[in-house]
Structure 1
Amino acid sequence: MMHSMLQDGGQELDRIRGEILATYLGDGATNHLDGKNLPSQAEVIDLINRILRLMFPGFYDGDDNIHRGNMKSWCGYLLDRVHQGLTKQVARSLCIGCIGGEMQKTIVRAERVSLDFLSNLPRVRRLLIKDIKAAYVGDPAAASIEEVILAYPSIQAIALYRLAHELYLRDVPLIPRLISEYAHMRFGIDIHPGAAIGESVFVDHGTGVVIGETCEIGNNVKIYQMVTLGALSFNKDAEGRLIKGRMIKRHPTIEDDVVLYAGCTILGGDTNIGQGSIIGGNVWVTNSVPANTVITFDAEKAEYRRFVRREWSFA
């Protein structure tokens, strides 16, 4: 009886295997066989965590022995490891499916891209320092800079965004999205690497924040949880296919010194939130807002209210 059951089970598994194999042959786009190259998700995540250690020395596990005496050698060793690993992953992403000499040429290009990316890390770190200070100054619950770096998921999400954005600007495929989706999975903050974000930006709490690819955000902007900066509609080409990438601006522009409160939704590439404006919680915006304007929603009367900011009081 047992032998018969095992035999029947084996036959059923053979049938299932055959059906699975048929799906492989039917759609080559969803499998990579015969040694085709793809960047490794696990290796990209390992690399990005190494870069975070470079950005915030001494803050993460494994860096307990860093001191001023060995800082130079520690930084050089870590930088070299990142350079080697990043070159390999960038080459794979630039040349998916390449073999032989074609891949060798791509490795040379990938090394240049990797070095150019790494040369911008000092600038990125200076941006992150401003983001951290904005979080510390802007949140009365922040007890110290150390707490902000270690315990605020939004700071790590912004850090990962800024690193992914540098690769995005260099036209590296796949890897920027692997980084941004890693941040999305870890922190619940979804920032497309193509978004252009200015200095001293603070995402408070952050859970559920969505920032689209063509979104532009100025300096000193504060964003609370569940804010969506999205597209109002999607343009299509003559054959009805969605136009992808940055060819058409789909997401809003947020100017300097704007505050976006929890749950507000701002949609559309032509939508501009003027400097110094405040968008209240759960407000839906699809039209531009002038500078220094406060938009709120009165749930009791089911109506939107607009104020000039100098007339607005939180008291």
Structure 2
Amino acid sequence: MHAAFIQSLAAAHRQAAAPLPGPAFCLLADQLLQVLFPERIARPLGSTDAIEAVLYHWQTELAELLRSVLDAKAADQIAATCIEGLPPLRELLLRDAAAIVAADPAAQGSAEVISTYPGFYAIALHRFAHALYQLQVPRVPRLLSEYAHTSTGIDIHPGARIGPSFCIDHGTGIVIGETAVIGAHVKIFQGVTLGALSVAKHLANIKRHPTIEDYAVIYAGATILGGSTVVGSHSIIGGNVWLTESVPSHSRVYHRAQIHVTRSEDPTADITFSI
């Protein structure tokens, strides 16, 4: 094999960033959800001492893992900040669970949503990843978002800003970009894309993804693109809509498809559909 090629590979390996302990970070995120929500743990913790001990261990483990991307002082500070942020994080996630229960007739209660719904799980991991993103932790937030993506089929960039009482119904195929802003009490169905119009690489720091205001509903398969695109509050975006311009509050936006149904006079013939 060519010696120059071997040398180039050796140089690349020497310059590579240290590998992330990815499985350990993902396991830690799952452990956090189990502490915050006993619905997700096999054996609920029975005492305040047990909970305090588990949270202390979690903070210590998080700080240790963060040392793979940060210096020791910064890792300790961020782990402590995460622990301090757990009460509002749990409250925010409880509001998300309640929103899903209220919006989904099939949901039997918050316990079912918290323990089994992929939409809730994706939101929960996003809110933790977003907290780390805001603290400017490198690489780890994206690792957690991709873990949620692999587990649920829901792809939310950790930079996306999502308000309280967020409801994802079904969820498979949802894509929410880095600079998307979502208000309170928003409901999104499967296959929705909140994406960017094509921009040059040097414009990466501008707002590229849409804003969805409070109480909007976006139905399956809708695609909404562009950093200046705003879906006004209380609007409904119908299934399969392609939207690249803003709509005011209380709008109804839908894709009109004409469907014709014909049937042969022969009662044994198949029904045919055309769109």
When normalised by structure 2's length, the TM-score is 0.89
- Whether 1:87 aligns to 2:66 is no
Structure 1 residue 57: Cα displacement = 2.2
- Whether 1:66 aligns to 2:45 is yes
Number of aligned positions between the proteins:
259
Q: Secondary structure at the match of 1:115?
A: helix
Q: Where do residues 168-187 of structure 1 align in structure 2 (5 Å cutoff)?
A: 168-187=133-152
Map of 2:246 onto structure 1: 288
Q: Which runs of 5+ in 1 are unaligned?
A: 1-14, 95-105, 238-242, 302-315
Q: Where do residues 249-288 of structure 1 align in structure 2 (5 Å cutoff)?
A: 249-288=207-246
Map of 2:266 onto structure 1: none
Distance 1:202 1:22, change over 3 A: same
Distance 1:262 1:172, change over 3 A: same
Separation (CA, whole Å) in 2 of partners of 1:110 and 1:122: 20
Separation (CA, whole Å) in 2 of partners of 1:30 and 1:205: 42
Give the aligned residue type for 1:192: H
Separation (CA, whole Å) in 2 of partners of 1:42 and 1:230: 28
1:272-301 Cα shifts (integer Å, max 9, x gaps): 000000000000000001100000111229
Q: Where do residues 50-61 of structure 1 align in structure 2 (5 Å cutoff)?
A: 50-61=31-42
Separation (CA, whole Å) in 2 of partners of 1:57 and 1:29: 44
CA RMSD of aligned residues (A): 2.0
Give the aligned residue type for 1:218: G
Question: Is the CA contact 2:211–2:229 (under 8 Å) kept in the aligned structure 1?
Answer: yes
Question: Is the CA contact 1:24–1:31 (under 8 Å) kept in the aligned structure 2?
Answer: no
1:69-123 Cα shifts (integer Å, max 9, x gaps): x1x12211211121111112222112xxxxxxxxxxx201210111012211110
Structure 1 residue 234: Cα displacement = 1.7
Structure 1 residue 29: Cα displacement = 7.8
Question: Is the CA contact 2:92–2:165 (under 8 Å) kept in the aligned structure 1?
Answer: yes
Separation (CA, whole Å) in 1 of partners of 2:127 and 2:248: 28
1:31-56 Cα shifts (integer Å, max 9, x gaps): 45xxxx44300110111111111220
Question: Is the CA contact 2:186–2:215 (under 8 Å) kept in the aligned structure 1?
Answer: yes
Q: Secondary structure at the match of 1:214?
A: coil
Question: Is the CA contact 1:50–1:78 (under 8 Å) kept in the aligned structure 2?
Answer: no
Give the aligned residue type for 2:24: E
Larger radius of gyration: 1
Map of 2:196 onto structure 1: 231
Separation (CA, whole Å) in 2 of partners of 1:109 and 1:298: 54
Map of 1:194 onto structure 2: 159
Q: Pick from 17, 24, 27: which aligns with 1:46?
A: 27
Separation (CA, whole Å) in 2 of partners of 1:143 and 1:166: 30
Range 111-120 or range 21-30, more displaced = 21-30
Structure 1 residue 20: Cα displacement = 8.2
Question: Is the CA contact 1:230–1:266 (under 8 Å) kept in the aligned structure 2?
Answer: yes
Question: Is the CA contact 2:93–2:124 (under 8 Å) kept in the aligned structure 1?
Answer: yes
Map of 2:271 onto structure 1: none
- Whether 1:215 aligns to 2:180 is yes
Question: Is the CA contact 1:261–1:279 (under 8 Å) kept in the aligned structure 2?
Answer: yes
Question: Is the CA contact 2:39–2:111 (under 8 Å) kept in the aligned structure 1?
Answer: no
Give the aligned residue type for 1:252: P
